Structure 1
Amino acid sequence: MTPLVPAPPRPWALASVAVVALLGVVLAAPLLGGAGAAVRFAFSHVCHQMPERSLWVGGGPVALCHRCLGVLAGLAGGLVAAPLVPRLRALGRVRAGRWLALAALPMAVDWLLGATGVWANTPASRLATGALFGVTAGLFLAEALLARSASANRTEEPACPPRPSLSPSPSRS
């Protein structure tokens, strides 16, 4: 009798679990003591982590600022929700770069208006604009990973014979 071997996890599932776990670690950093300091240090290479621009949990700032937290939370949401989005395959046929640039535009405008003093951005605007970009990136990443899984699971089928033509073929004289 052959022992049952579980199928390897699909890349989409692995990515979804990894990003959700990463989000959990970021949010729990203030509660982790020395390990939380290590998490903050690891994320200091990608985020300014200004305490006044970060969510606070348990008396301390999380490992990312509002905007970066929004991007990571959106990425997790986009990855997890992707199988529920109808016509996701159609998204993969368009240029992802254009959609990502469009999704980054509100984030850039929010930052620029705040930096120039025209608009005082808020934690909500930073989280929301970051999340919009993150969801968009998560959907495109999920589509690519789901397509990879689908192509890896396809089996080679024999080619179908050509269909006979219904129109009469021109006769040669």
Structure 2
Amino acid sequence: MTPFIKKAFSVVCHQNPERTIIIDGHSMMVCARCSGIYAGVLIASLAVVFYGKIFLKSNLPFYLLSAPIAIDWLLVLLGIKEFSKITAAFTGFLFGSIIFLYFYSSLNKKNRNK
């Protein structure tokens, strides 16, 4: 089952072993940045379940929480800074959480218009 799951994740993640979080000697199936994105989606979805509906009316939160991942990725790509698993996971977390909240808001907006 693990090779199938690893192959499925390879479609969305480079799975570079040097950029993968290792827990108790086991590598995650995705890199630190993607792990952060998935964690952000999970935590944001739990927040919606436990705290009720969250609606985003402005694009400002999207820009503010998407900027760190874009800046970090660009600085690493250009060789200005070294890759950090912690920074990648944190910026991924911010991005994953805001993407989920906008997705959730757009679904609810469509349902309200029916």
TM-score, normalisation: structure 1: 0.56
Deviations 1:54-103 (A, max 9, x none): 112353321110001101110111111025278x33x1x324xx643442
Higher helix share: 2
Letter of the structure 1 residue corresponding to residue 73 of structure 2 = W
The worse-fitting range, judged by mean Cα deviation, of 49-58 and 131-140 is: 49-58
* Runs of 4+ that moved beyond 6 A: none
**Structure-1 residue corresponding to 2:42:** 76
Aligned mate of 1:109, from 71, 80, 88: 71
Point out where structure 2 has 5 or more consecutive residues left out of the alignment: none
Give the number of the structure whose alpha-carbon radius of gyration is greater.
Answer: 1
1:62 aligns to what SS in structure 2? strand
2:72 aligns to what SS in structure 1? helix
Aligned mate of 2:101, from 128, 135, 139: 139
Where do 1:1-173 residues align within 5 Å? 35-83=1-49, 84=51, 88-89=54-55, 91=56, 93-95=57-59, 99-147=61-109
The worse-fitting range, judged by mean Cα deviation, of 104-113 and 63-72 is: 104-113
Aligned residues with identical type, % of pairs: 30
Point out where structure 1 has 5 or more consecutive residues left out of the alignment: 1-34, 153-173
Q: RMSD between aligned alpha carbons?
A: 2.4
Letter of the structure 2 residue corresponding to residue 37 of structure 1 = P
TM-score, normalisation: structure 2: 0.81
Structure having greater relative contact order (Cα 8 Å, sep ≥ 6): 2
